Amino acid sequence: MAGIATKKSKVGFIALGDIGLPMVSNLVKNGFKPMVFDLRKEPVNAAVRMGAKAADSVKTMAQQCDFICIALVGAPQMEQVLEGPNGIFANAKRGTAILSHATMPPENAKDFARRAKAKGLEWLDTPMSGANIAAKAGTLTWLVGGTPALLKRCQPILNAMGTNTFLLGEPGAGQVGKLVNGLMFHVGYVATLEALKLAQAYNVPEKLIIDLAKVSTGNCWMVQNWGYMDRLVDSHPQGTDSFVQTHVRKDIADALIAAKSCKKAMPMTAVSYQIYPDLLIERAKLRAAGAKKKKKA
């Protein structure tokens, strides 16, 4: 078993998306030389230019690395890289630490942790908060589920990409923190968008409402970083509709799955799951129409 991670440790990183690639950049900036893998060549090439090393397969990475970070979307994608003859479970060395950055229902994380342990591997929930703004700045907040000893081993890796770490309990607890924090973010944004409809109906400019909220009781992360979600929706490589349905809505769906498992009613979350996509897509269409009108003028 490898000890505490150092700059010379063999660290792997799977999935170089909107958040994953900036995370790799910060690993490199902080002295690590990660081995990276993604099905897409473009981000892999970008990571190599930063100073990372490309792996030709998940199997190769599993055989060589002592720590493997996985920044996939959720449990189904995790299953694909963990299981099978070419997956991590079948090929990783005993004692390898798996840092799971994906968001998923807690029961999935617990199941993965049990299966990892059966293979002689270690599992650490490490979903993060802060979005790609924090990923780029290296200021992510880690919501951790696992043992204190394993966290201590992995902390230097997490410190290279983030600034705050909260050990919330055993595997699965990190996902609870992620889902709860995400609900505060997303459901709060739904309320903000709905409130702005009222302001619009009375011809009070959105900018003035946001400015007043920043210095009053309506303040929150989304208000302080107003425009973040608009930019993310407009620029995401998957396109607006796909991004909203597969990423934004997914986090709320995972929270509802978790709520069902523990038999807790979450009516505001359920309503948000229904109306959130329409609010985001409607807003994106209005921005596009406004930009088109402005261009013609």
Query: CATH number, domain at 108?
Result: 3.40.50.720
Are 90 and 123 in the same domain? yes
Do the domain assignments include residue 296?
Answer: no
Domain count, the chain: 2
**Which one of 169, 203, 233 terminates a domain?**
169
Residue 167's nearest CA partner among 154, 182, 183 is 154
Are 16 and 156 in the same domain? yes
Query: CATH number, domain at 281?
Result: 1.10.1040.10
**Which one of 147, 169, 191 terminates a domain?**
169
Do the domain assignments include residue 59?
Answer: yes
Q: Between 173-201 and 106-118, two packed helices, what is the crossing angle to 10 degrees?
A: 160
**Which one of 127, 147, 169 terminates a domain?**
169
Are 124 and 237 in the same domain? no
Are 109 and 186 in the same domain? no
pLDDT per residue, tens digit, the chain (297 aa), is 569 999 999 999 999 998 999 999 999 999 999 999 999 999 999 999 999 999 999 999 999 999 999 999 899 999 999 999 999 999 999 999 999 999 999 999 999 999 999 999 999 999 999 988 999 999 999 999 999 999 999 999 999 999 999 999 999 999 999 999 999 999 999 999 999 999 999 999 999 999 999 999 999 999 999 999 898 888 877 777 777 777 778 889 999 999 999 999 999 999 999 999 888 888 888 888 887 777 776
Q: Which amino acid is at 171?
A: P
Determine the Cα–Cα distance for residues 158 and 169; give it in Å rounded to an integer. Answer: 17
**Parent domain of 63:** 11-169
CB 155 within 8 A of CB 39: no
- The model's pTM is 0.89
Are 126 and 71 in the same domain? yes
Q: What DSSP character marks residue 93?
A: P
